[in-house]
Every structure is written in structure tokens, then in C-alpha cells.
Structure 1
């Protein structure tokens, strides 16, 4: 049986995943156990992220958040001298995700656009779990590539949280509705 590939990501009300400097500190006031991140991570086998996201995580003065998980970093450059256990670089995100899916793994596409766009184009995203954060940034890095191809999705669920976040879950149109949401 194949695995599942989930894009779980947060955006501002105006559709940005990072501010104009690439920062995500604006998300910190909305970090809450209420949204179920621990439960989600418990079912994730593989985390896929872009190089900028990896570098941001490494620069934080906190423990590696994905200890015990396989982490694939989309990059053509070598990683730092001592990446955390289970972390490796990949130059072909589509092949990496296909292999994990075929092996029955649950894959979390953590971001950013350089990771999302090729997976979306190849039809390799089974579910989008979108957290809308009640902040307007005005500018920044948008979730979707400008001029991206049109895709249609079915809404599975919508949930609001006390802190103002809204989680919307979608699957590609005509897919069986058996997601994490």
C-alpha cells in the first residue's frame, strides 16, 4: 500500500509563508498545542523541506525539531558539516517523494515553494492542510508561485481555533477522501 504526501503549511491572511526577509517569527504567537502538531508529527515518517527552511531551523537556538525522523532537504549544495541524524540532501524531490510514498511512508511537505511547486506539478501531493494565520504581512514570500497552473481541490474540513488560526484541509479533486484531517 502506498503512503500519503501531505502539504501542511501556514500562510498569512494575504497568502504569504514568510515575510519579505524570509522570516517566520510572525508565526510564534500562534504556536499552540491546540492545533495538533504533536499528533501530526507522530504519524509522519519523512519530512521534506527546502534549503532555506533547513538553514533557518539550524540557526535557531533550539533542539532539532525532527529528531528521529528522516528529513530530506531539497538542495544542490552540501549540507553543513554535521547535520542532525537522519538528515540528507536530495536534488530530486519528486523521486525522493515517490520512493517514500511507494514504501508506504507518510511524507510531510514542510516547505517552501521550491519544494511544493515540482511536487504539485507531478501530482504528488495527496492532501493540503492549510493553516491561515490572522496576520496581514503586506508583502513577503507567497505560498504559490506567481502564474502557477490551476488545480482544483475538494474541501475535506475546516476548523477554527481559539488563537484565531483556521485549518482548511483539501484533497485533489476526484481523490478518495482518506486523509489525516
Structure 2
């Protein structure tokens, strides 16, 4: 797997978003989660194939291999969500190993603590951030506990019809 992307999807779902998401999934073959995000996603996605989300996106979320980093999770599959591997080892070492394997990119959805650890270790190549046209007074930081500055280079900006803006940054370290 060549790269790790950090992706946050707080958005208004519409046809434009679904089309871009499906295009994105063509470059991904592994989903990475921390335990909390995994449990939230595992409760949501198995029921979405016939619901309001695009069924092709639900199919990808339900069938792609999932790697869950957890110190406490024992059970590899939550209800209907399949194709899950729980890893209790060193996060940086395990991701570095996965990046050396053949295949497409990995993506981290949410999981701000894991993203922070991987960002500090220089193991995230691309950052895909979705900016929603909503202002909140509080929330979960994108990179929990980050104190270091990570230099990024803007690669692309996409305006979605819903008003969401997709920002694609590449780590300056991965350009070298």
C-alpha cells in the first residue's frame, strides 16, 4: 500500500458528494480506524445498503478490509460488519509495515488520536479535509493532542454542490 490519507467526512450528502466519494474509493483498499470510530461506523454502515446513502458507497464501506487499532477490543467483528482485523501492536510499526505491502492506499476516517500519532511519525502522505458550511462552538479536534507543526502543500481544492469544500494537502515530508 503506497499511502495513508487522513479523511474527515462531516458533510451534507448529495449526488455530487457520492460521485466524488466513489471516485476516491477507487484508490483505496484498506480502511483504518481507532476503536471508538470503528464502533460508530460498524453500527451505521451495515444498515445503509438499502437506506439513504448511496448503495455503492455502503458496499465499499462494508466490504473493504478494515484495520482497527485498539488496546481493549477483543472481538474482530461487530455485528454485521465483516472483513475486520484488530491490531494491538505498535501503531507506527504496523502502519509502516502495511505501507510496504502491495496494494492501493489506506484511509483513516476520523480517529483523531491515531491520525495525530501517524502525523507526528510522518506516516500520513495526504490529508483530505472536508470543510462543511457549518460553524460550531465546540467539537472534536481534527488532530487531538498535536503540538508540532506539520508542513503541508495544497494539492487540490474542490467545491461540492452542497457547499462543502474538499481540501487535499500533501505532507511536505512525503514529497522528498
TM class by shorter chain equals: 0.7 to 0.9
Larger relative helix fraction: 2
Q: Contact 1:46–1:100 at 8 Å: present in 2 too?
A: no
Larger relative strand fraction: 1
Q: Which moved more, 1:101-110 or 1:71-80?
A: 71-80
Match among 34, 42, 53 for residue 50 of structure 1: 34
TM-score, scaled relative to structure 1: 0.77
Q: CA deviation at 1:174?
A: 5.5
Moved over 6 A (4+): none
* 1:1-181 pair list within 5 angstroms: 3-10=2-9, 27=11, 30-35=12-17, 36-60=20-44, 62-63=47-48, 65=58, 66-80=61-75, 82-83=77-78, 84-91=81-88, 92-105=90-103, 106-173=105-172, 175-176=174-175
In structure 2, the CA distance between the partners of 1:75 and 1:160, relative to structure 1 (3 Å rule), is: same
Q: Structure 2: which 5+ runs fail to align?
A: 50-57
SS in structure 1 of the partner of residue 95 of structure 2: helix
SS in structure 2 of the partner of residue 59 of structure 1: helix
TM-score, scaled relative to structure 2: 0.79
SS in structure 2 of the partner of residue 137 of structure 1: coil
RMSD over aligned Cα atoms: 2.3
Q: Structure 1: which 5+ runs fail to align?
A: 12-26
C-alpha distance in structure 2 between counterparts of 1:90 and 1:110, whole Å: 16
Q: 1:79-119 CA deviation, whole Å, 9 max, x = no partner?
A: 44743331021123222321221013311011211210110
C-alpha distance in structure 1 between counterparts of 2:92 and 2:174, whole Å: 20
The count of corresponding residues between Structure 1 and Structure 2 is 159
SS in structure 1 of the partner of residue 47 of structure 2: coil
Q: Contact 2:9–2:109 at 8 Å: present in 1 too?
A: no
Q: CA deviation at 1:55?
A: 1.2
C-alpha distance in structure 2 between counterparts of 1:114 and 1:170, whole Å: 19
